[in-house]
Amino acid sequence: MRLLLTSATSGLGRTVAALLGPDHDLVLTDLTTHTGGSTNVTACDLGDDDSTDRLVDGIDAIVHIGYGGHFASASELLDVHTRCTYNLLTAARSAGVGRFVNLSTLRLLDDYPEYLTVTENWRSTPGVEPVILSAHLTEYVCREFGREGGIKIANLRLGFPLVEGDTAAAAGSGDSAALASDDLSAAISAALTADLGANAQSTDAPHPVSFRTIHVQSPIPGGRFLLKGAASILGLWEGQGVA
């Protein structure tokens, strides 16, 4: 599968590239300001011009860093996460790109106390800090494209912090919402091909389900967030975690 990865020179971008690189034909891209000296990264400012159209040409799926990318001012963050995401999705839908995986964050639900059984059916509670607000707005843009169809969008809310290694490493971190890099890799790989209509309320509808939010943290004992979506949509970690 030919994948396009955005914000590829950011910390999370580099981690995701390393995870997906061995199994996919990976096209790395980032904004012009972040690609100086990088010979393997395609510079693109994700404008509403031909450069974004060329970027998505021949791409099967896009993995988009919707949270945890580069540090920037509030204005820059809001611009990248709204306008650039909109431009990228517009170009991708027109080009027939089949799937878009947005990497968001479970920090959008951080207000809820740990004793609550928080699933994808709980409303997110973003604050006004630019980083978290931008993640929320990226989801908003994705949701509206998903509502209209034409491209399938998996919105993965990632646990925190990201821990290198396997599930045991996440369990050993002491953080109840931790996500191991091995589990992140498994979740993204599954999201690239999963039936987003699996176990949806509208499964029997004639139109395909084009947008699903899925919580992704490692399935550790005492895990903070329930993983119902990961199990039912991605086929991961059935019966694991929390208890």
Residue numbers at the binding site for another protein (CB under 8 A):
47-48, 74-75, 78-79, 82-83, 86-87, 89-90, 125-128, 133, 136-137, 140-141, 144-145, 147-148
Of the pair 128, 243, the CB lying nearest another protein is at 128
CB of 86 to another protein, least distance (A): 7
CB of 110 to another protein, least distance (A): 13
**Cα 90–Cα 94–Cα 96 angle in degrees, nearest 5:** 120
Backbone φ, ψ for residue 194 (5° rounding): -60, 150
Of the pair 169, 200, the CB lying nearest another protein is at 200
- Comparing C-alpha atoms, which of 118, 128, 127, 97 is closest to residue 27? 97
CB of 79 to another protein, least distance (A): 7
Residues with Cβ within 8 Å of 136's Cβ and at least 6 positions away in sequence, in order, are: 108, 124, 126
Residue keyed to tokens 């396009």? 4
CA separation for the pair 153, 133 (Å, rounded): 20
CB of 78 to another protein, least distance (A): 5
Of the pair 3, 72, the CB lying nearest another protein is at 72
Of the pair 83, 228, the CB lying nearest another protein is at 83
Signed CA dihedral, 191, 194, 198, 200: sign only: positive
